[in-house]
């Protein structure tokens, strides 16, 4: 039985980005060991995946001494476990795991790229992040961007050797759970409870945003564009589902003021039941400045929720402008305003775009389909049994 180590910096990534995938590999012939730092999500991950887990105290921040210690701990772990392959996700885990696996003599060192942090940074920090990506790519034997646009960007910017890169299937790290994100599977009582929570009014038009409330997610231009929409269409509402992360990437003072005081903005906080909000919203707006392969667009697509998104890598792999959704230039408040106004005033047309997107998601991104494509890739890399 081939041994596979799956590693992310924190357990929240195992829980949110890769749910069910480790279990799938375990049930289909792999001895799977999960690795991450400790965290509140770990109990859920262990119960769901049914795989062993080893804690390495990695952090998302740059901590040179702590990172060197984690590199040494990973090296010792890999020497002890002797895995056939190590597969990493997230930047810090990728850097440390690929270096440690190379040092430990692991022959198959696989890294999935689901986004590049440096594209929205400047100065010395940007150069550090670029160097991290290049070192990770050098140490890995295979680098798998989770979208075709991401792969093109990485090759154009010489982040990794062309012979190492490949997109598995049609992209995505884990696809979407079509059993969960299915309008026919939603519980009416939960839908009603959420409607009561936000004081839902069927005569209003709800734009929904799902994700961290930070500058890089496009929150500043979204809020400014929505304020203009509301001035013209008072029945518009903007429903924000996410939490502030002021210590990482705060929104502007004006955006914060709009969230706190604007009569058309509803800040519902974070929720683990995003499917219910997508079900009752008339459109999802995703103005992010950078993405890998955004799960939120797959989730909305599976539920038949119309999508408006920025023209960036990842988004453009899922949404085709005018066919499966609406696309606007990233950071462009005027274009975003125009797209929101069009969605609000063309309800039948926007629903047809959503129907087209749902068919695409169902065809290519069902989780078992994505997991099986990955398993087949694993098998193709393993040496033939003697």
pLDDT in tens, 265-287: 999 998 989 999 999 999 999 99
- What mean pLDDT value characterizes the chain? 95
List all residues 6 or more positions away from 301 whose beta carbon is below 8 Å from its beta carbon: 176, 307, 318, 324, 354, 357, 358, 360, 361
Count CB atoms within 10 A of the CB of residue 350.
Answer: 21
* Distance between CA atoms of residues 268 and 207, nearest Å: 13
Q: Do domains 3-175+367-381 and 183-364 have the same CATH topology?
A: yes
> How confident is the model over 316-340, as pLDDT tens digits?
999 999 999 999 999 999 999 999 9
The answer on pLDDT for 386 being more than 70 is no
Tokens of 350: 């926007």
Question: For tokens 């949110």, what's the residue?
Answer: 16
* Distance between CA atoms of residues 122 and 130, nearest Å: 11
Own/partner pairs, 246-253, CB within 8 angstroms, 24+ separation: 248/214, 249/214, 249/215, 249/216, 250/214, 250/215, 251/213, 251/214, 251/215, 251/219, 251/220, 251/223, 252/215, 252/220
pTM: 0.86
Reported CATH class of domain 183-364: alpha beta
User: What ranges do the domains of the chain cover?
Assistant: 3-175+367-381, 183-364
Is the CB of residue 317 less than 8 Å from the CB of residue 341? no
> How confident is the model over 282-308, as pLDDT tens digits?
999 999 998 778 899 999 999 999 999
Handedness of CA 46, 50, 55, 57 (dihedral sign): negative
* Range 3-175+367-381 has CATH code 3.50.50.60: no
Is the CB of residue 98 less than 8 Å from the CB of residue 136? yes
Picking from 212, 40, 13, the residue whose alpha carbon sits closest to that of residue 94 is 13
- Residue 196: which H helix or E strand, with range? helix 188-197
The 8-class DSSP code of residue 366 comes to B
The 8-class DSSP code of residue 355 comes to H
Is the CB of residue 31 less than 8 Å from the CB of residue 3? yes
* Distance between CA atoms of residues 189 and 168, nearest Å: 39
List all residues 6 or more positions away from 60 whose beta carbon is below 8 Å from its beta carbon: 9, 10, 90, 91, 92
**Mean pLDDT on 161-171:** 94
pLDDT at 347: 95
> How confident is the model over 39-94, as pLDDT tens digits?
999 999 999 999 999 999 999 888 899 999 999 999 999 999 999 999 999 999 99
* Angle between helix 219-232 and 253-261 (nearest 10): 50
With cut-offs at 50, 70 and 90, classify the pLDDT of residue 124: confident
**Mean pLDDT on 31-35:** 98
Handedness of CA 180, 327, 111, 248 (dihedral sign): negative
> How confident is the model over 99-118, as pLDDT tens digits?
999 999 999 999 999 878 77
Length of the chain in terms of residues written: 386
CA-based angle 117:122:125, to the nearest 5? Answer: 70
> How confident is the model over 219-276, as pLDDT tens digits?
999 999 999 999 999 999 999 999 888 877 899 999 999 999 999 999 999 898 999 9
pLDDT at 117: 77
Bridge partners of 208, per DSSP, are: 239, 284
Instruction: Encode 220-260 in three state secondary structure.
Output: HHHHHHHHHHHHHCCCEEEEEECCECCCCCCCCHHHHHHHH
pLDDT at 115: 78
């Amino acid at each position: 039985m081939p041994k596979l180590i799956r590693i992310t910096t924190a357990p929240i990534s195992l829980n949110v980005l890769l749910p069910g995938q480790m279990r799938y590999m375990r049930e289909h012939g792999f001895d799977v060991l999960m690795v991450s730092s400790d965290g509140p999500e770990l109990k859920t991950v262990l119960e769901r995946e049914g795989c062993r887990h080893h804690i390495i105290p990695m952090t998302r921040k740059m901590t040179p001494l702590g990172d060197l210690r984690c590199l040494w701990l990973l090296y010792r772990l890999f020497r002890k476990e002797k895995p056939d392959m190590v597969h990493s996700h997230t930047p810090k885990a990728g850097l440390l795991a690929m270096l440690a696996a190379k040092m430990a003599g692991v022959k198959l060192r696989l890294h999935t790229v689901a986004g590049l942090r440096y594209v929205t940074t400047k100065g010395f920090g940007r150069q550090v992040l670029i160097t991290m990506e290049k070192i990770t790519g050098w140490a890995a034997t295979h680098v798998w961007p989770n979208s075709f646009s991401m792969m093109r960007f990485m090759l154009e910017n010489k982040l990794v050797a062309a012979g190492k890169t490949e997109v598995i299937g049609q992209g995505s790290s884990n696809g979407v759970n079509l059993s969960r994100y299915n309008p026919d599977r939603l519980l009416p009582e939960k839908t009603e409870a959420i409607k009561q929570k936000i004081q839902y009014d069927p005569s209003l038009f709800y734009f929904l945003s799902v994700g961290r409330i930070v500058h890089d997610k496009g929150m500043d231009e979204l809020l400014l564009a929505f304020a203009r929409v509301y001035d013209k269409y008072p029945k518009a509402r903007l429903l924000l589902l996410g939490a502030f992360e002021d210590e990482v990437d705060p929104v502007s003072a004006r955006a914060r003021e709009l969230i706190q005081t604007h009569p058309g903005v509803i800040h519902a906080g974070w929720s683990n039941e995003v499917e219910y909000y997508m079900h009752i919203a008339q459109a999802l707006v995703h103005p992010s400045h950078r993405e890998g392969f955004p799960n939120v667009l797959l989730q909305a697509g599976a539920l038949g929720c119309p999508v408006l998104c920025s023209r960036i890598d990842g988004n453009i792999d899922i949404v085709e402008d005018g066919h499966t959704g609406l696309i606007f230039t990233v950071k462009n408040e005027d274009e975003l305003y125009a797209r929101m106004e069009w969605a609000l005033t063309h309800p039948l047309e926007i629903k047809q775009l959503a129907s087209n997107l749902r068919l695409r998601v169902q065809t290519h991104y069902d989780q078992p389909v994505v997991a099986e494509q990955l398993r087949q890739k694993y098998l193709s890399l393993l040496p033939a049994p003697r």
